[in-house]
Structures are given as structure tokens and as C-alpha cells.
Structure 1
Amino acid sequence: MTAAKQQRQRMIADWLRQHRIGSQEELVARLDLAGVPATQATVSRDLDELGAVRIRRDGTMHYRLPEQLETGEAGRLDRLLSEWVTDIVTAGNLIVLKTPPGSANLVANALDAAGLEEVAGTIAGDDTIFLALVDGAVPGAVASALRRRREGR
């Protein structure tokens, strides 16, 4: 990693810790004001390498670093269910979760990482997740448990 890249990523990380940065364009503008030229594509790669994720908090979208998120997969899953899942319905032995466009993969990854014993696996599209349940799991009960987690209960 070059010294310029390290400096740029350090600046981005500091700004993400200190401010609510809502877009890559905002980071490009801040870097430009600091005399560090960068394109949106470069900032996008930097955010990816830093592990930054864009989350909705208090009705606005902004980037956060991994250390700024809840620890543990359960806390992460609860937060993502709360912020991104708009509907949870049963369909036979499946549970279908609806999210805003582009968010399903993020939630599905958290569901997989949480290792819920009732869930055999997930399939994520753009805004829909299918949860395949293990034999013997009761879809209505699992869906109710996910709804309670989404509501913070």
C-alpha cells in the first residue's frame, strides 16, 4: 500500500468516526478540500477495504466502520432486521423477508453468520430473501421470532 493511499484511508476513517458521512461524493469533496485528489471509484474501493458499510440511523443513511457497529452476530442481525427488513411472511416451509432494493444480500449474510438453528440457508435477490428452514422447524414460530428481533423485543 502506498503512503498516499494509507494517508487517504486514514483521513476517510477519521471522518467516518467523527461525522455522519452520507455519500462517497461527500468524501471526494472533503478529500479535495484537504488537497488529496480522488475519484468516486477510488473512494468506493477505500471504503470497501476499510470494511465501511452504509447504514440507516435516525432516518438518514451514512457510512460506519466495523468498530462502530454492534459487536456479535446477534446484535448485528437484530440491527439489520430492524433497519432493513420491511416485511416477514411465511410461504410453506420458507420464510420470505422483504427489504429495500439492494439490501437483501446484506441481511442474508447476517442471517447466515448468526447460525440460527432453524435456518438451513438463505437465498437473496435484490430486495427479497428466502429462508429455507430445517426439517421440523415451524415457519410461523420462526417468523414470529424474527419479527420480535426486528422490533427489538
Structure 2
Amino acid sequence: MTPVGKTQRQLMIADWLRSGRVGSQEELVARLSLAGIAATQATVSRDLLELGAFKLKRDGSIRYVMPDQIEADHAAAKLDRLLAEWVDTIIPCGNMLVLKTPPGSANLVANALDAARIDAIAGTLAGDDTIFVALVDGADNAAVVDLLHRKRAGA
């Protein structure tokens, strides 16, 4: 077996996760072995943890994925649901929006807005029941409000 450093091993694991369906740590141990790299299941488990990889059910099977593999569609669908369920009001305010939610819900919605990576949104700041949404320079405030209202309605 070839001695390989942790960084190189983790890069190989990350590449395998991004390019295919890896369903178990044992499968990764076997792939590493085929590549001439000795690693135990415990080592692979620590590598996955450090890489931030997690298991996700897709297309009827469970597999490991990297954090950057979360599809925009998944984030958009989650945002649509959260906007519909938790946003009471969307108020335009200059180059910002103010979203009102029930108490304790703002952080959940703000995280979903950030994860959806809407080009016109620079970022969010959440309190308990209020979210400030900063728009990028030149963003059409009315168009973003319209987009969020359509998402709330499930359109």
C-alpha cells in the first residue's frame, strides 16, 4: 500500500463523493484499497466528518454528498415552503426588504433565503420575528418583492 497523506486521501474521497454514488464508509475503504491506500473505516469516518460530508436520500437510495452538492432546487423548494408557512409580511424598504414572521421563526427563513442564493440578495440579518434582507447594488426592489410573493404563493 502507498503511504498517502490525509489531505490527499480526503481530496480523493471528496472527488468520489462528487462524481458518484457512495453509500457507505466500507465502500470508501474498498475504493481506497483499490487505489493502493490503506485506511480503516474509523479513518474514513473521521475524514467524512472533517469534509462536512453527510448522507442524503436521493432517487430512492442513500448516499454521501459534499456540502456544495446541495442542489439549488432543494434550497429553492425549501424556501418556497418556508416563505408560505412562516412569512406574514414582506415590506420594501429602500435597498432592503423587511420580512415579518411569527416569533422565533426569522432565523429559519433567513437561513433558507441565504441557502437559495438568489442573485439579487446580498444577505440577511434575522432577529426573533424580523428579517432584514439586503439587496445587491442595482437590484430591482419591486422585482425581488414580486419573486418572494410568487414563491410564497407556490407559483
TM-score where L is the length of structure 2: 0.52
The residue type paired with residue 139 of structure 1 is N
Q: What is the deviation of 1:89?
A: 1.0
Equivalent position of 2:113 in the other structure: 111
Identity of aligned residues (%): 64
What is the RMSD of the two structures over their aligned residues, measured on CA atoms? 0.9
Equivalent position of 2:85 in the other structure: 83
The residue type paired with residue 91 of structure 1 is C
Give the alignment of 1:47-62 within 5 angstroms. none
The residue type paired with residue 89 of structure 2 is D
Q: What is the deviation of 1:99?
A: 0.2
| Cα displacement string for residues 75-101 of structure 1 (whole angstroms, at most 9, x for unaligned residues) | 000000000000001001101110000
Unaligned runs of 5+ in 1: 1-70
1:131 equivalent among 108, 133, 137: 133
Residue 100 of structure 1: SS of its match in structure 2? Answer: coil
Unaligned runs of 5+ in 2: 1-72
Residue 80 of structure 2: SS of its match in structure 1? Answer: helix
Equivalent position of 1:94 in the other structure: 96
| Cα displacement string for residues 103-140 of structure 1 (whole angstroms, at most 9, x for unaligned residues) | 00000000001111000000000000010000110111
| Cα displacement string for residues 16-72 of structure 1 (whole angstroms, at most 9, x for unaligned residues) | xxxxxxxxxxxxxxxxxxxxxxxxxxxxxxxxxxxxxxxxxxxxxxxxxxxxxxx71
CA distance in 2, matches of 1:96, 1:151: 18
CA distance in 1, matches of 2:134, 2:76: 19
Aligned length, in residue pairs: 83
The residue type paired with residue 146 of structure 2 is S
